[in-house]
Structure formats: structure tokens, C-alpha cells
Amino acid sequence: MEIWATSWYSFCQYTPDIDLTYRRQVQHAKRTQNLTHLPPYQTEIVRAVAREVRDLDKDVAELLEPFQGSFDPSADQDVACTLLVNHLSMRRNKRCLLAYHRTRTDKLEELVWNGSDVVDLSGQQVRDPASASGAGGSDASKSSLSPQEEEYVRQYSDLLAAYKGQWTDIDLTGSLEPPRDLFIDVRVLKDAGEIQTEYGAITLTKNSQFYVRQGDVERLIAQGYLYKLG
């Protein structure tokens, strides 16, 4: 995936064009590959690139309309050149859209395998400056996922849960590296409620500390509820 996205990043980056919206989109995808979280979905950029594809397709239809299906490229080379450029631009935009969404999909799947769910992912709130500057100056925020991405995460999480359910004795999403210490000290970063461990139930309240078996809290550490001390 990384080689595929990088090659299209290079193609889109250096293809000359007046409108550079598609470049910003692919640059976002390139940066996303190196982040541990998922940045906000670029709705306006996606819409702008898709709108350009529709406009180019409309231009192609208008250019071909006078020929009534009998267009001869060798006889009308100027029109043929324009059609070629428009088709290449549409293909470029399509590939850039695919690279952007494929990169985000891969990141979403990685986060789900690491134990995040749609509430955690959509909870990566970003401030909406337009709303925040409104009445009262409240800090309005929105989800970093698009509605389609939220639905994708829900369905992917359900599939993963069903897959894991076939092997209840094995944590398929656990770390592949054996723990160095059987028991560890942890600090609670945010309330996680009561959990059941091999040695009984414990209630995880913010800022409290516990000495627990690492296998019992490994997932909570990965999800950001706990911090491993020492």
C-alpha cells in the first residue's frame, strides 16, 4: 500500500495543472501514513476534486456532441489533444481520490485492530473555527471521521468481533511480543469503570494507580485509558 500510494503521490505532485486542490488531497494522504492518529476528513477538498471530475466530463461531452459519434482524432487533432488532457486529468483525480481514501481506510483498520472503536475514533474531535467564532464563542467541534467512515468502522468492528469470537481462548489483537514483566504499575488517564481481572475486580478512576498483571490491562494501555509507569 505504501509503495502504491507513494507512486501516485509522485504522479499527482508533479503533474502540471492550474487547480492544485488534488495535490493538497494527496499530501494529506502522504502525511496520514506517518501519523499515529487519523486527521480530520477533508470534506471540502474531496468535494472540490469530485466536482472537477464532473466538470471535465461535461466538457468532454460538449466537445464530442457536434460529431454525433463519428469523431476522427487524426482529422481534428486540436480537439483530440483537448480530450486526451481532460481524460488524463479525470484519471489523475480519480486515482488521487482512491489513494486518499485507501490510506484512511488502512489507518482505520489498523486502529480497530489496536482496540479502538467508532466512539474512540470519532471522538478525536477537532475544533470548528466557523462555529467557534459564533455566538458566545463556544468551542464547537466535529468528528474527525466522515459519516461513511463511521459506518465503515462499525461494520468492520463487527466483522472483527465475529472473527475473534471463533477463538475465544486467544486474543488475536494482542501484542505479538511477550511481556518483559508479568506485573506492572499503571496510572489511569481517564475513567474506564470496573474491569474483571484474574485476581478480582478493580475500578479504574482517573489519576488512580494500580499494580496489575500486564495481560489484564494491555488493551486498556493501547486504547489510552492507562499509562504504564516505569
Binned at pLDDT 50, 70 and 90, residue 56 comes out as very high
User: What percent of the chain has pLDDT above 90?
Assistant: 30
Say how far apart CA 134 and CA 114 lie, in whole Å.
37
- Res 30 pLDDT > 90: no
Binned at pLDDT 50, 70 and 90, residue 225 comes out as confident
Of 79 and 224, which is predicted with more confidence? 79
Binned at pLDDT 50, 70 and 90, residue 119 comes out as low
Side-chain-facing half-sphere of 183: CA atoms under 13 Å: 6
Say how far apart CA 198 and CA 217 lie, in whole Å.
11
Residues with Cβ within 8 Å of 219's Cβ and at least 6 positions away in sequence, in order, are: 115, 171, 173, 174
Binned at pLDDT 50, 70 and 90, residue 19 comes out as low
For residues 60-80, average pLDDT: 86
Say how far apart CA 144 and CA 227 lie, in whole Å.
24
- Quick count: other Cβ atoms within 10 Å of Cβ 93? 23
The identity of residue 13, as a single letter, is: Q
Element housing 211 (H / E): strand 209-213
Q: By C-alpha distance, which of 191, 225, 221 is closest to 206? A: 191
Say how far apart CA 220 and CA 212 lie, in whole Å.
12
- Res 6 pLDDT > 80: no
**Torsion from C-alpha of 94, 100, 104, 106, nearest 10 degrees:** 70
Binned at pLDDT 50, 70 and 90, residue 49 comes out as very high
- Res 154 pLDDT > 50: yes
Helices within 114-193 (DSSP H only): 118-122, 129-132, 147-164
- Quick count: other Cβ atoms within 10 Å of Cβ 112? 22
Tell me the C-alpha to C-alpha distance, in Å, between residue 196 and each of 191, 206, 211, 213.
Answer: 15, 17, 14, 12
Binned at pLDDT 50, 70 and 90, residue 133 comes out as very low
Q: What pLDDT shows up at residue 21?
A: 76
User: Among 132-141, 144-153, 161-170, which stretch is predicted with the lowest mean pLDDT?
Assistant: 132-141
State the sign of the Cα–Cα–Cα–Cα dihedral 80, 84, 85, 90. positive
State the sign of the Cα–Cα–Cα–Cα dihedral 6, 7, 8, 14. positive
CATH (one of 1.20.120.1780, 1.20.58.1030, 2.130.10.10, 3.40.190.10) for 2-120: 1.20.58.1030
Residues with Cβ within 8 Å of 132's Cβ and at least 6 positions away in sequence, in order, are: 138, 139, 140
Give the residue carrying C-alpha cell 471530475: 53
Of 37 and 138, which is predicted with more confidence? 37
Binned at pLDDT 50, 70 and 90, residue 66 comes out as confident
Give the residue carrying C-alpha cell 466538470: 55
- Res 125 pLDDT > 70: no
Predicted TM-score (pTM) of the model is 0.68
- Res 135 pLDDT > 60: no
